[in-house]
Amino acid sequence: MSILEKNPDLADVIRSDEHAQALIAESEENRRRLEAWGSTLAPEPRPLLPDLQAPEPYPLEALPPLMRDAAQAIAEHVQAPLALAGQCVIGAGVYLAQTRVNAPHIHRQSGMPCSMFLLTLADSGDRKSECRRLAFKTADEAEEKARTEHRKACDEITNMAGGLKGKALEQFNAEHPLPFDPRTQYSDATYERIAGDMIRGASAASWDTDEGGQVLGGVSLKADTRAATLGGLVKAFDTGTFERTRSHGNAEGSGFAYNRRLSVHLLAQAVTVAAALDDPLLRGQGFLPRFLFASPASLAGTRFLTTDQLSRKAYADPRLQRYWSRCEAISATPQAIDPQTGEVSPLVLDLDEEAAAEWLEFYNEVEGEQSAFGKFGNLRPFAGRAGELVRRLAAVFACFEGQQLIDGECLRRAAVLVRHSLGEWARYTDSEAVNPKLQQAALLLDWLKANQWHTFDARALQREGPRFARKSAAYRDTLLGILAEHCQLLTTNGKQFTINPLATTATTATTATTATTATSHAAKGFATGDAMATVGDKSPCAHILSPSVANLSPVGSPATVRPVASVAAVANTKQKYKHGGRVQ
């Protein structure tokens, strides 16, 4: 609440005071003069950011009916992006299918695993955990039950051997071995731990976590052995093979395991995996190209609740009940696991004639787009993996639908989702090249416009501006310097700033040149505002205002301008210059 709002009598005095009215008139005249000057003399603002493509709508209709309805229901109840819910439902389907069917391979009669790697980026607070919980409900419940029974069985055997020692204990242990750990889900783990369990007899696993940054940015992929870790993950994806060699003193950790299954389902914040996704080794070695990827826009700020929404419960939603029933039915079917070796050897779901034709058309289309000037010319490692991912995903869909063959419908659905993933990889690759400080500067400009800080003092921004711009005075000055150098702000002394009257729609570029320039600057590690111009070389605009214009009361000191702005507010002027405000 302003001073005048707290003191209505003072407001009445100002309305009746001739001097105050003169100040109001002067303020209005100065505003008109500045706007008239700005419209004719202000320099053309230069774009801060490339014209990035918005996320394409998630192709929800491409999911099989039960999975589609479940994803829609999850997104509605949780108020999360459709892509986040869809990826979680696919992840649950992969977990169920990987020990029951094989995907068809072009050259191998025995097929290939239908296991998949999935990665979804979502901000903190975007309901990643809740989406995953609803999608994996039946799998989580079965896992909890199996682990509880295993723990009870182990406790019983341990209690039976309580008083035994020496040879008697050895004989008892030989006759009563502890049951094998039924664990199939890993969240807080490493590749080394999972590989060790496979070598010791585990058949299948799902590396599944809503803290994907711990996987892609964890110890396994930062250590000196990360190349070997990546190679192991790639081999596990391709053939289900795990191999590890240790020193003679650590022979227990050595060994190999064939025909195992590992699916990976990661939900992560972009900031926690940014370095990994830009790592040439992770891209070039083929690890990232094996992921079905989504990076939807956040819904934060739009997730308002109504009393009707509060009365609806996810567990009572018929769409989710049908989906969970189908998951339970699949879980009740036998897994193709050899009890002696632990190997997974399921039957192959072949493509029918229509599906084979659909896949061939998809493959050739994507192959053609990998030419130098094609849509995926810069994404060849990812596009080159698309045909295989389509076959795997189609096998998962066919398994979930209870089909004995992959038909054309399953294949088309899978192709749509894999193509969407390629588009998301392309969009993410474009956006990650933008210098973060340019992004912050653009965000600050949006805040200034939204809060009507048409003219302001840097010190006021430090006190009352958005939190990200108040990290330090130096950081604030860096952002202001970027905006001034791009002619988005006008200043004569680096202390008082005015939004360029022409800076209305020029915060993003309209040509690809911007992305190229921003990429080159980011690659060189430039951090100063001077190095962060985008299209074209910079023209001098840090000291644009002439002395006469700079001395106008709208760009005077805060002590002078604040009362004028308040007086103008009392007079209900249509436009005012704000030098302060509260972060909304």
Length of the chain: 584
384 lies in the same domain as 477: no
- In sequence order, the 6+-apart residues with CB closer than 8 A to the CB of 463 are 470, 580
Domain limits for position 367: 60-431
498 lies in the same domain as 512: yes
Give 416-482 as a DSSP string.
HHHHHHHHHHHHHHHHTTS-HHHHHHHHHHHHHHHTT-SEEEHHHHHHHS-GGGGS-HHHHHHHHHH
Number of domains into which the chain is organized: 2
Sheet holding 261-268, edge to edge: 185-186, 204-209, 261-268, 117-121, 291-294
| Residue that is last in its domain, among 431, 461, 492 | 431
445 lies in the same domain as 425: no
DSSP 579: S
User: Smallest Cα–Cα separation from 118: which of 425, 433, 426?
Assistant: 425
DSSP 114: -
Whole-number Cα distances in Å, 118 to 250, 263, 393, 513, 551: 33, 8, 11, 32, 59
161 lies in the same domain as 280: yes
3-state SS, residue 258: coil
535 lies in the same domain as 563: yes
> Do 573 and 452 contact (CB within 8 A), yes or no?
no
Residue 39 in domain: yes
pLDDT at 558: 34
| Residue that is last in its domain, among 431, 454, 472 | 431
Cα distance from N-terminal residue to C-terminal residue, the chain: 14
pLDDT at 519: 33
Residue 536 in domain: yes
Helices 473-485 and 436-450 cross at an angle (nearest 10°) of 90
377 lies in the same domain as 471: no
| Residue that is last in its domain, among 382, 411, 431 | 431
Give 334-394 as a DSSP string.
PP-B-TTT--B-PPB--B-HHHHHHHHHHHHHHHHTTSTTSTTTT-HHHHTTHHHHHHHHH
pLDDT at 575: 37
483 lies in the same domain as 553: yes
* CA 412 – CA 561 distance, rounded (Å): 64
493 lies in the same domain as 470: yes
293 lies in the same domain as 404: yes
Residue 506 in domain: yes
* CA 433 – CA 323 distance, rounded (Å): 40
238 lies in the same domain as 344: yes
Number of alpha carbons in the 13 Å side-chain half-sphere of residue 449:
18
- Rg of the chain over all Cα atoms, to the nearest angstrom: 31
Residue 160 in domain: yes
How many other C-beta atoms can be found within 10 angstroms of the C-beta atom of residue 441? Answer: 28
Residues paired with 457 in a beta bridge: 496
Dig out the tokens for 357 from the structure: 């034709």
- Domain holding 417: CATH number? 3.40.50
Residue 238 in domain: yes
pLDDT at 568: 36
Dig out the tokens for 79 from the structure: 């108020």
* CA 179 – CA 174 distance, rounded (Å): 12
User: Smallest Cα–Cα separation from 344: which of 486, 487, 198, 492?
Assistant: 198
Residue 581 in domain: no
328 lies in the same domain as 303: yes
247 lies in the same domain as 382: yes
Encode the chain (584 residues) as per-residue pLDDT tens digits.
Answer: 556 666 677 667 777 777 777 777 766 665 565 555 555 567 888 888 766 678 899 999 999 999 999 999 999 999 999 999 999 999 999 999 999 999 999 999 999 999 999 999 998 899 999 999 999 999 999 999 999 999 999 999 989 888 888 888 888 888 888 888 899 999 988 899 999 999 999 999 999 998 888 888 766 676 677 888 899 999 999 999 999 876 555 555 679 999 999 999 999 998 788 888 888 888 888 999 999 999 999 999 999 999 998 999 999 999 999 999 999 999 999 999 999 999 999 999 999 999 999 999 999 999 999 998 899 998 999 999 999 999 999 999 999 999 999 999 999 999 999 999 999 999 888 766 567 788 789 889 989 998 999 999 999 999 999 988 998 999 999 999 999 999 999 998 888 999 998 876 445 553 333 333 333 333 222 233 333 333 333 445 544 433 333 333 333 333 333 333 333 333 333 333 334 333 33
Residue 576 in domain: no
User: Smallest Cα–Cα separation from 532: which of 484, 466, 465?
Assistant: 484
Residue 220 in domain: yes
* CA 386 – CA 392 distance, rounded (Å): 10
